[in-house]
Amino acid sequence: MKRRDFLRASALASTSLLVPSFLPAAFGGRMSGGRFGKILVVIQLSGGNDGLNTIIPYRNDAYYRSRPNLAIPAAEVLPVGDELGFNPALQALRPLYDGGLLSIINSVGYPNPDRSHFRSMDIWHTASDSSQYLSTGWLGRYLDSECAGCEQPYHALELDDSLSLALKGREHNGFAMSDARQLKRTTDNRFLQAVGKAAHDHEHGEQAAYLYKVMVDTQSSADYLFEQSKVYPSKAPYPLTPFGQDLKKVAELITADTATRVYYVNLTGFDTHANQKNRQGRLLKQLAEGMQAFVMDLKQNGLLDDTLIMAFSEFGRRVKQNASGGTDHGTANNVFLLGGQLKQPGFFNPGPNLLDLDEGDLKYQVDFRSLYATILENWLGVKAPKDILGGEFGVLGMV
């Protein structure tokens, strides 16, 4: 028996006992043949990562003029093209780039950018215009529109104790779990389990019925995810950072063929107003080493072709450094895509124009919603992404 087959067989054996009886029939079909399908992993870099010191225009005088103390010297940059290079802390991404597993989209943003963390993150989460307030997220609405019949909330799973707006829909929500064992403890209330079991016998009002449904779903999901988390203990060398360990948990769930289509992982601390160089370097290293371990782990298990990773931040930072060895809130930024099936590895578009600024900030070239549209249509197979995104934003060719 091959290792993969063994894994699948053991996954089947352990889950078949536990899959709750009310799981939709579609899941049964999945188990006999093929994997669950294409998987999206979203990595959120919170605080506003400085894109200009991430992907560095190391031949651009304007860059060095704007950042006399903060610019990364050309000699330290890891060049990956004639104009652009990596921050040295991204060393671990180099082999992925060389292997055609990484695509970088420059100058991603939206019109009338908002420089508040919360507001700009909301805009990215809800895919709204900058003057529009939505209370559902783009991935939540994906669950609403594409998930008719698949009632389980763990189709979209966030590795955290609380759920981001991006994963909240009108009818369906994603699922938050920082750790399968800990989640199981929160549902380990035997009284509430007995209440959940008895709930089917009762008539509830609309609101109570909703609460009961979420409770029962959470209880069964906790059992399911706990079992899934034990199927494939990864041996790959993940960094011991919380971010690295989150990615390890995701890889373990993907490898166990968990019925989750979207994973959401956070890395925080990019709000580098002061002493940016060391702090951003540390974070980028965490990011790069975590992603490298993750990509190689999936590749080894033949799963990278089924996985697409997107890393974004709510905004980039100002072109000019400030007086504290840092940078202030800015606008457009680069987005990373990783996976085994990229149509356009390398750079999707040229780096930002540092001479054509909007009050000291980069102008966006790619609307983030066209990136969402591309992922929804070309990767997740959504027929009409405009129904989820509330408009046509064009589909790009990189996925």
Task: Please give the residue ranges that form the binding site for other proteins (CB under 8 A).
Answer: 46-48, 117-119, 121-122, 131, 133, 135, 153, 160-165, 168, 173-178, 182, 185-187, 189-192, 194-195, 198, 202-208, 210-212, 214-215, 217-218, 221, 242, 266, 268-269, 271, 273-274, 279, 314, 322-324, 326
The least distance separating other proteins from the CB of residue 135, rounded to whole angstroms, comes to 4
> Which is closer to other proteins, CB of 103 or CB of 164?
164
Q: How many CB atoms lie within 10 A of CB 27?
A: 14
The least distance separating other proteins from the CB of residue 290, rounded to whole angstroms, comes to 15
> Which is closer to other proteins, CB of 274 or CB of 384?
274
Q: Transcribe 287-349 into DSSP letters.
A: HHHHHHHHHHHHHHTT-GGGEEEEEEES--B-SS--TTSS--B-S-EEEEEEES--SS-EESS
> Which is closer to other proteins, CB of 163 or CB of 291?
163
Distance CA 233, CA 6 (A): 14
> Which is closer to other proteins, CB of 8 or CB of 317?
317
The least distance separating other proteins from the CB of residue 280, rounded to whole angstroms, comes to 11
Tokens of 1: 């028996």
Distance CA 16, CA 178 (A): 24
CB under 8 A, 24+ apart: contacts of 187-193? 187/218, 187/219, 187/222, 187/223, 192/219, 193/219
Across the strands, what pairs with 329?
A: 317
The least distance separating other proteins from the CB of residue 338, rounded to whole angstroms, comes to 23
The least distance separating other proteins from the CB of residue 231, rounded to whole angstroms, comes to 21
Distance CA 36, CA 257 (A): 6
Residue pair 372/389 in contact by the 8 Å Cβ criterion: yes
395, amino acid identity: V
- The HSE-up count of residue 183 (CA atoms within 13 Å, CB side) is 27
> Which is closer to other proteins, CB of 243 or CB of 348?
243
Q: Residue 71: what are its φ and ψ, rounded to 5°?
A: -60, 145
Which residue's entry shows tokens 């041996």?
Answer: 235
Tokens of 313: 């931040």
The least distance separating other proteins from the CB of residue 396, rounded to whole angstroms, comes to 28
Distance CA 313, CA 54 (A): 12
> Which is closer to other proteins, CB of 103 or CB of 187?
187
> Which is closer to other proteins, CB of 6 or CB of 210?
210
The least distance separating other proteins from the CB of residue 208, rounded to whole angstroms, comes to 6
> Which is closer to other proteins, CB of 16 or CB of 324?
324
Longest pairwise C-alpha distance within the chain: 72
The least distance separating other proteins from the CB of residue 131, rounded to whole angstroms, comes to 7
Length of the chain: 399
